[in-house]
Structure 1
């Protein structure tokens, strides 16, 4: 289907207007740089119209100019072909973490040097022109996703049915291999894990004992648990669908704490690897059981800056009812949280118990507040984003150690997204409504937060690229003498 030029220009105007009026930080490189990207998009729209796919290509650099990973088009996955090589991130490296056929098994663990003649640095630079990126890990995860199939890689490589990979093996030898795309369903092959980890359930949560004194908590995502659905239903002032069968984080953590106390376990590993985020309410629930709600609310996570707008009000009418007139007069920017933070005041801007009946009942019960005080270790990787990142930082600032790969999420960044649809093309997009400044005094850490024990390529090679090497390192750290950290 071809969209005419006037409709495309109107859709572009809608996109720019929403960014201008609703995003808290739309011009990170200045207004001129942003509108230069808009001008390039305008000049590239043909007078005789363009396809949906081409229009998406032209819009991506406009959104990328905001340099915000949460602000993006909602991409529908099209194309049935994919490449049978899967990548992961460690340090500044993309390495082969899994393959789709036994003929490529020898590639496992090899580091990417180039694809179709383009170096990793060139691929990273190309990716930042089509997606807002926040740090090195974000760029690398973006390239890894883009190498998933021809339809994803097109913006980086052009139309490429196959890949010519140059990879460097663990012993330093460069290998060139041709990888064709395939339509076959793949059964991924990867190095075996030496760990038997309790799995997450359909809601993304799971737990179990790794040893008599160590409990493992898996938090695969933060969108599937019941309290998140209750919270979103209250915020949106409308039903969000059935959630009665969703796992309750409150009930699961209550069960975990009671079992840990009975076993006299004193160590907890919280696995947030691959957690793409969702609802930050989980931190309040876990904090209640480990530290008590008062300490949880007093932890310093920096400050935020919400921007209210017409788009915000469309999504969350209940939340804008009490926004003061002076906030609207200041472009919708609500500086009250920042001012309170600078004054050293505790401002309880969010009370989960007001939105989640499940958590409210636990607070009323009150018998397990700060009921278990284990030594906590948090696992993160480059794919730990958004509320997953915030949960890791919360636990770290409560005293937990962190192990893994720096997250692609920047601590000083934007989030809490709002969705909208462009009127003519019906393309869906999302933009951030809140600015987070979690490292107000350390911009470098605010861009790339490094864990206490950073996973390296040497660690992986030394453990034969075991996908759970981070767990092995974490348990060694919890049990000094079992393995050098």
Structure 2
């Protein structure tokens, strides 16, 4: 059976570069906006609705039928005012964000992205989102006088909570989790999404508090998007081990992607075998596992890592279901779209339920169980896990398994994936014909074999330490320092969270 390709969030960082064509005068031509009529917009929205209703194994996992009906009505009403492709993207993105499936991608077409890149004017701020507030991480154009690190209180009278609600409404997310959108939309991302949803704005009335706590206001003009570089691509790294002190190890696992390990000339299984061999040989009895950058990758790598931390196999999935072997939808124009979920070989691992639904059999190599053979050596010492909004898909699954068996304590923030499972795996990619919007619909419902105390939420930290704007890009940040202090605490002492405020970065030893 092919590996289950966990997918990560795709937001504004996926914007495409403009073509390098030039006109006769030597200047690059400005791409034209893709015009749509309200009738065409409505057809695209109706097709998106039909694909979701035909493909998602459980459309009502994170919403009620009544809530979905109301969301559809709002989307179809909004289509009456659409006249550009990006309007359709906004409508469909808000509709699908309401579904609560973080692997559900809604991406504007290349032409719409090129037009935005060439002509749009943006909020001249880079932003860092946190449970502690919204902070300014970078300034551009007329905002150059605002001190980076300032806390943003309002834009045009809309407070920080309203801004976060807008960000979340335009972003794919699991359940009711906000941290995924926070971490996947750094820098200029909110400015890009805001312009897509609102169009160009002449200027912005800003209310902010400086790092010194002074309340200030400023009026700033919009800045051309073509003057704002996109965020740097995320570094692709394989797992690594560091020794912090005798008996104390730090294991960073930023990805479960087989591709990342292939490009490094190895495999995930081989790297885990080697690293845990080093853990045993070095006599580690305290381990910090960093999953903050782990957005998933390939099944069953999260289970392989679990097997080095928990010896006994765990029935992790209650079920893995798909709606049917073959999906079909008729577009408003009468075109029939057909998608095959499983081929004949894959069907051998499925049982057919009433109504044609498919459910995975509990057979190796994946099945419903974490691992079928014991790993060696298995680490049995104290474990602290660093996690956050980018801990998604397979990364969030591992966090949920470790939480369920009470194997570790967690430091950081809520994971980006829900504690009860996700809808991911294979996807049905559909291009909406009039707007060019790309819709990626996840097809497999991975339901864990346990229930959440609070449905629709991720694994919550034992020690709540959200990232700070002053430590963007810093691995050994205050959450890292809390995790290290926690794992080194005397077992005879009460298991209280160390005070992040008194753990100085200057006190950390240099990296090995």
User: Could you tell me the TM-score, scaled by structure 2's length?
Assistant: 0.69
**What's the secondary structure of 2:417's corresponding residue?**
coil
Alignment of 1:145-160 (within 5 A): 145=186, 148=189, 150-155=191-196, 157-160=198-201
Q: Does residue 449 of structure 1 match 2:459? A: yes
CA offsets, 1:383-410, max 9 Å, x none?
A: 2222111122223344111100112332
Going from structure 1 to structure 2, the CA distance change for 1:126 and 1:259 (only over 3 Å counts) comes to: closer
Query: Residue in 1 aligned with 2:154?
Result: 114
Could you tell me which of 355, 358, 361 is aligned with 1:330? 355
**What's the secondary structure of 2:295's corresponding residue?**
coil
Report if the CA contact (8 A) 1:150-1:181 is conserved: no
Q: Does residue 430 of structure 1 match 2:402? A: no
- Tell me how far apart the structure 2 counterparts of residues 129 and 316 of structure 1 sit (CA, whole Å): 32
Could you tell me which of 225, 241, 266 is aligned with 2:285? 266
Q: Which moved more, 1:391-400 or 1:79-88?
A: 79-88
**Alpha-carbon distance, 1:169 to partner:** 4.4
Select the structure that is richer in helix: 1
Going from structure 1 to structure 2, the CA distance change for 1:4 and 1:219 (only over 3 Å counts) comes to: same
Could you tell me which of 318, 321, 328 is aligned with 1:303? 318
Going from structure 1 to structure 2, the CA distance change for 1:179 and 1:349 (only over 3 Å counts) comes to: farther
- Tell me how far apart the structure 1 counterparts of residues 470 and 485 of structure 2 sit (CA, whole Å): 15
- Tell me how far apart the structure 2 counterparts of residues 141 and 253 of structure 1 sit (CA, whole Å): 30
Query: Residue in 2 aligned with 1:26?
Result: 59
Q: Does residue 218 of structure 1 match 2:252? A: yes
- Tell me how far apart the structure 1 counterparts of residues 44 and 144 of structure 2 sit (CA, whole Å): 47
**Alpha-carbon distance, 1:55 to partner:** 2.1
CA offsets, 1:166-197, max 9 Å, x none?
A: 333455432335485464566999xxxxxxxx
Alignment of 1:90-239 (within 5 A): 90-97=130-137, 106-108=147-149, 110-131=150-171, 133=173, 134-138=175-179, 141=182, 144-145=185-186, 148=189, 150-155=191-196, 157-160=198-201, 163-169=204-210, 172-177=213-218, 178=220, 181=223, 183-184=226-227, 202-225=236-259
**What's the secondary structure of 2:100's corresponding residue?**
coil
Could you tell me which of 465, 480, 485 is aligned with 1:471? 480
Going from structure 1 to structure 2, the CA distance change for 1:423 and 1:98 (only over 3 Å counts) comes to: closer
Report if the CA contact (8 A) 2:238-2:260 is conserved: no
Report if the CA contact (8 A) 1:84-1:100 is conserved: yes
CA offsets, 1:215-250, max 9 Å, x none?
A: 2222223335468xxxxxxxxxxxxxxx46554111
Could you tell me which of 409, 415, 420 is aligned with 2:429? 420
- Tell me how far apart the structure 2 counterparts of residues 369 and 305 of structure 1 sit (CA, whole Å): 28
- Tell me how far apart the structure 2 counterparts of residues 36 and 370 of structure 1 sit (CA, whole Å): 53
Report if the CA contact (8 A) 2:240-2:275 is conserved: no
Could you tell me which of 272, 286, 294 is aligned with 1:275? 294
Query: Residue in 1 aligned with 2:417?
Result: 409
- Tell me how far apart the structure 2 counterparts of residues 173 and 14 of structure 1 sit (CA, whole Å): 50
- Tell me how far apart the structure 1 counterparts of residues 145 and 246 of structure 2 sit (CA, whole Å): 39
Report if the CA contact (8 A) 1:411-1:448 is conserved: yes
- Tell me how far apart the structure 2 counterparts of residues 217 and 185 of structure 1 sit (CA, whole Å): 35
Query: Residue in 1 aligned with 2:408?
Result: 400
Going from structure 1 to structure 2, the CA distance change for 1:403 and 1:149 (only over 3 Å counts) comes to: closer
**Alpha-carbon distance, 1:92 to partner:** 4.9
Unaligned 5+ segments in structure 1 are 190-199, 228-242, 338-346, 354-358
Report if the CA contact (8 A) 1:89-1:141 is conserved: yes
**What's the secondary structure of 1:444's corresponding residue?**
coil
Going from structure 1 to structure 2, the CA distance change for 1:322 and 1:377 (only over 3 Å counts) comes to: closer
Unaligned 5+ segments in structure 2 are 1-33, 328-337, 500-512
- Tell me how far apart the structure 1 counterparts of residues 295 and 202 of structure 2 sit (CA, whole Å): 29
Going from structure 1 to structure 2, the CA distance change for 1:185 and 1:126 (only over 3 Å counts) comes to: closer
- Tell me how far apart the structure 2 counterparts of residues 203 and 57 of structure 1 sit (CA, whole Å): 33
- Tell me how far apart the structure 1 counterparts of residues 404 and 463 of structure 2 sit (CA, whole Å): 15
